[in-house]
Structure formats: structure tokens, C-alpha cells
Amino acid sequence: MSAARELFDQAGVLLRAHQLPSSHQDERPAGSDICLLVIHNISLPPAEFGGPQVPDFFLGRLDHSAHPYFDHLRGIRVSSHFFIRRGGELIQFVPCERRAWHAGQSQWRGRTRCNDFSIGIELEGTDDSGFTDAQYAELARLTRELQTRYPIEDIAGHSDIAPGRKTDPGLLFDWERYRALVARNE
């Protein structure tokens, strides 16, 4: 556990991540065990990368007049624990000990409300864009770090916990490559 103490503070803040605290979070229910990682993808506007819009969305300050697509996002309050940009930059919005609002209506292995027991990781991308080497490397590193602190039993895509409602991280997400990178421990 000492390795986990060096990586995270008591609230589950990963010390090496860029911190942008979101108010779109709350307490996990008492007795919630953090045992699931959920991998997502996001880009705002769709298929556009690198701008401030995803962080602004998670922080509740998205300028809805900046793009026609943003109008349907009015009033939506979502967040994720982590966001990995195309170049590998890691941003944390919600401490791991708190509940981020990333999964929505969801179910995994007979348990509903996946936000209660999961950590959400967003990759900057789309179902059709694929992901970068830097993103896979950072995702694998982050996964290993989370595994030092939490009893992660499963890793799933958003599409796995909300089938029929969500499709991310998409068919181009290379699960085999990701798992091999996590196992290599580089």
C-alpha cells in the first residue's frame, strides 16, 4: 500500500495528474467497493480534438453557443474521474474516493448504478477514430496505478455496462493491445 500512498492522496487524487476539480460529483454510497474501471470516449464537437470543450463540459462551463451540437447538452451534468487527451495528457476531474457521473443508467454483473463502484476514464476520441499510442500507454499506466490502490476486479467499456444505450469506447478500441500493455507493466 505504500506505493499507492506515494501515487495518490487520501481522497484518491492521483498526484501526477493535472487537476481540474469538477462539481459534478458526490459521495459514494457507504460501503461501496471500487472494483470496476469503465472506459469511455468523448470529443466535443464530435470528432474534433484538442480544444477546451470536454473539460469545460465536465466542469459545467461549456459555452453552448459556441457550436450547434452543444445546444442539446444544456442542463446535462456529467463528469469522469479521468480524461486522456490524444497526446497522452492526463486530467483528473473527480477524486477516486468520490462518485463521478459518467456511467448513467448502467449494470455490471448483476449490480446496477455503476457510478457507485467504478472509476470512469474518458479517452479523447470517437467510436470511429481509433486511439493514439500515447493514449494506450497512459491508459495502461493509469490502470496499473489504480490497481495498486483499489481492488479492481473488472474493466469494461461504457457499451458493456449500458448496452443498447452506449457504444463507446467503440469497435476500434484495441482491448487486446490495452491488456497486453497493462500486463507488461512498462
Q: Which residue, 121, 98, 86, is CA-closest to 29?
A: 98
Q: Cα 110 from chain centroid?
A: 21
Could you say which of 97, 122, 138, 176 is catalytic? 122
State the residue for C-alpha cell 481509433: 130
Contact partners, residue 179, CB within 8 Å, separation at least 6: none
Active site residue 124: no
Residue 34 is given by DSSP the state -
Backbone angles phi, psi at 84, to 5 degrees: -115, 115
- State the CB neighbour count (10 A cutoff) for residue 86: 16
Q: Which long-range contacts (CB under 8 A, 24 or more apart) does 4-9 make?
A: 4/145, 4/148, 4/149, 7/145, 7/148, 7/149, 8/96, 8/145, 8/149, 9/95
Looking at the annotation, which residues are catalytic? Answer: 122
